[in-house]
Structure 1
């Protein structure tokens, strides 16, 4: 029987994940629409979303070394989110200048790069910090990670309600005529903050970044584990020895290929919804259907790992992506599109979190920050930029810039086919062991 999860640890890690994913939830689903509004084309949007993953290029070599050897993880998180919040405030200013002048795309690209370097390494770092302190990560990680889903959903809904406040107020007046004084008071309260603007998505994310930066002083202290022969060694280079295991190489290789295909979802689905007459202000709210589905997926994850084992659970996540992209590839009703979005829980949890648990099980305790950042480097730092660039090229090929000629069926058919091939390769090739290495760095 696993050790109980202490309350003082549970609430701290829960708040960490709520704010961590709340930041992403307030900007990611709205990002393609925001940049389209500011006259960027498909190729430029693909470049911006690709460069947004560049932070993972330096993560395993810089962040991993810092947090595994020199600086506590909670202090690094505080500094990174402070820099990220300041950068987010500058992005909408640069986007407005580009819309007016069509002449400073490089500045916008630079700001997104700086933010990527600050923010994206914090995702695997938050995972390694959680794994380090949880008594039983396999059964307990989902209990704190589920609050990341809560943060994403709330921030996405707040963004849509803020941007679409005129529609929301009109709906309230129509359906609750007896509450007119209360509705007027609510409208007066909103007017104090000025008129909503599309750039407010970045401002909301900046506020959450500053909140998380401040909250990091409440996180459990997570100093580097410098023991035995690990002292003085370069942690990221030690992690590379894990590639001697052929099955570890296979899992990383499959994850790399998946990370090339997955970005097409974030790139194209918001546009697909807009093409189906969903107002752009309400796209983030509709997309939260996917995040809400993470609740049952996270709750069922420990059971799936116990009953199905890691291989079948991972394959289930891949199968969900095949079904999702296949639905998007057909001219189906809005209900089926929402069902495809609602598969996000299985798609995300049973791929990303399962592979994070696998990596954590396969490495020594003093290398976990570096190992998680290595995985993030391979997937989000290398594969994901390639995926966004390919998504931009595919979007151009299938004319997603022109709603009247857009071919979403062809776009998603390519994704569904590639994902199905990867599922077959994984199922017949993977032989996964979850045997843990020695916890003593002096005796690897």
Structure 2
């Protein structure tokens, strides 16, 4: 790969996740803040509805990529169009005067944005001669972009000064830049143009055959179920941290992304030592521990450090369950329908699982709102901790590991 293409792809990844991280982390705080204090003054249930747009986008994304990008148009052109339209939608969201208007804009935006995650991966991988060695160094720029967005929000004090509407404008500008930059990327032609494929192959339905395997079915159910408590984190962590008095919360949340890189580097060692079952169990356990840290970390200034523990173990929560699950899925699917299998697990987790989590988390937060407008966060966080613990017990009791399940691909 030439230095020019490497720079183009790195910039693409940086901007892709900068755009997402610029508004997604603090959206809940923005929506909950009173309309007179820079927000929209909604309840928790509306926050859940807003984040639910991610799940709807995840459900629709495979159809856009599979039915359009793979067959009709070059990936970089679709990426450019989606981000240019996205820039307009994000700017509109920043000036929306009501939740209804805001929600409609964000819903359409996420339906258009979620396919870009697959498109950026496709564009990058198609330019590489050795993806196993080259892709990680390109993809890590995405994590850097997410971190930089959070640090900017913290540095400019947008949370404390009630100017979180500016996060959407910042994301809109970055999306505009990425939209135009996309048209300069190397041409990535559709792979299946003029190729006859079945309807089930187009929709990724062939991967459903995996669910006939008892252990994979147990894993699939556990994956969906663990995403129910996961949704609580994305919805309400930033509002929670701001409410309990953490300054520049969005910036401090990037600690999780910094350490995610470290945990990812340690992952091959733990994978070989523990195997797939214990790795998946460790990831589920980390979600329960994270929420227990949140439940007790704010009650006393002497335990405030627990909040940072809950933030810092993001790499274990995410990498050791979701990435391990992707490896396990690859090993089970084989080369016959690897892409369809990854689409299936994405649909089950980011689609169905988180959708349920987004639906139930809002009413739970509203139920434990106190008379002064604050919340009983101890009770709120113990609920997803309990759900994660139940899923962990179910998985460890029902899942049976085979030696072939723990085969480690060279790309990790």
The two structures have a TM-score, normalised by structure 2, of 0.83
Q: How far apart, in 1, do the equivalents of 2:314 and 2:66 lie?
A: 29
In the TM superposition, what are the counterparts of 1:362-441 in structure 2 within 5 Å? Answer: 362-363=332-333, 370-399=340-369, 402-404=372-374, 406-428=375-397, 429-431=399-401, 433-434=404-405
Q: How far apart, in 2, do the equivalents of 1:134 and 1:425 lie?
A: 41
Cα deviation code 1:271-290 (max 9, x no counterpart):
221222234xx221121122
Asked if structure 1 preserves the Cα contact closer than 8 Å seen for 2:73 and 2:189, the reply is yes
Asked if structure 2 preserves the Cα contact closer than 8 Å seen for 1:328 and 1:412, the reply is yes
Which deviates more from structure 2 when the two are superposed, residues 420-429 or residues 298-307? 298-307
Give the Å deviation of 1:89.
0.8
Give the Å deviation of 1:205.
1.0
Give the Å deviation of 1:14.
3.4
| 1:111 has 2:105 as partner | yes
In the TM superposition, what are the counterparts of 1:295-334 in structure 2 within 5 Å? Answer: 295-330=261-296, 331=299, 333-334=303-304
Asked if structure 2 preserves the Cα contact closer than 8 Å seen for 1:251 and 1:430, the reply is no
Residue in structure 2 matching 1:347, options 317, 320, 323: 317
In the TM superposition, what are the counterparts of 1:29-428 in structure 2 within 5 Å? Answer: 29-37=25-33, 38-94=40-96, 97-98=97-98, 105-127=99-121, 141-164=135-158, 197-217=163-183, 219=185, 221-226=187-192, 231-234=196-199, 235-236=202-203, 237-279=205-247, 282-330=248-296, 331=299, 333-363=303-333, 370-399=340-369, 402-404=372-374, 406-428=375-397
Describe the SS at the equivalent of 2:246.
coil
Describe the SS at the equivalent of 2:358.
helix
Give the Å deviation of 1:152.
0.8
Instruction: Assess, with a 3 A threshold, how the Cα gap between structure 1 residues 83 and 308 changes in structure 2: closer, same or farther.
Output: farther
- Corresponding residue number in structure 1 for 2:24: 28
Instruction: Assess, with a 3 A threshold, how the Cα gap between structure 1 residues 153 and 55 changes in structure 2: closer, same or farther.
Output: same
Q: How far apart, in 2, do the equivalents of 1:155 and 1:35 lie?
A: 19
Cα deviation code 1:308-333 (max 9, x no counterpart):
44433333222221211111122352
Q: How far apart, in 2, do the equivalents of 1:163 and 1:394 lie?
A: 29
Give the Å deviation of 1:424.
2.5
Q: How far apart, in 1, do the equivalents of 2:148 and 2:14 lie?
A: 9
Asked if structure 1 preserves the Cα contact closer than 8 Å seen for 2:226 and 2:387, the reply is no
Give the Å deviation of 1:145.
2.8
Instruction: Assess, with a 3 A threshold, how the Cα gap between structure 1 residues 17 and 158 changes in structure 2: closer, same or farther.
Output: same
Instruction: Assess, with a 3 A threshold, how the Cα gap between structure 1 residues 360 and 244 changes in structure 2: closer, same or farther.
Output: same
Asked if structure 2 preserves the Cα contact closer than 8 Å seen for 1:67 and 1:76, the reply is yes
Instruction: Assess, with a 3 A threshold, how the Cα gap between structure 1 residues 208 and 308 changes in structure 2: closer, same or farther.
Output: farther
Instruction: Assess, with a 3 A threshold, how the Cα gap between structure 1 residues 247 and 11 changes in structure 2: closer, same or farther.
Output: farther
Give the Å deviation of 1:210.
2.1
Describe the SS at the equivalent of 2:156.
helix
- 5+ residue gaps, structure 1, are 99-104, 168-195, 437-444
Whose relative contact order is higher, 1 or 2, with alpha carbons under 8 Å and at least 6 apart? 1
- Specify the structure having the higher radius of gyration (Cα): 1
Cα deviation code 1:232-251 (max 9, x no counterpart):
32321334444344444333
Q: How far apart, in 1, do the equivalents of 2:94 and 2:256 lie?
A: 26
Instruction: Assess, with a 3 A threshold, how the Cα gap between structure 1 residues 89 and 371 changes in structure 2: closer, same or farther.
Output: farther
Q: How far apart, in 2, do the equivalents of 1:10 and 1:310 lie?
A: 33
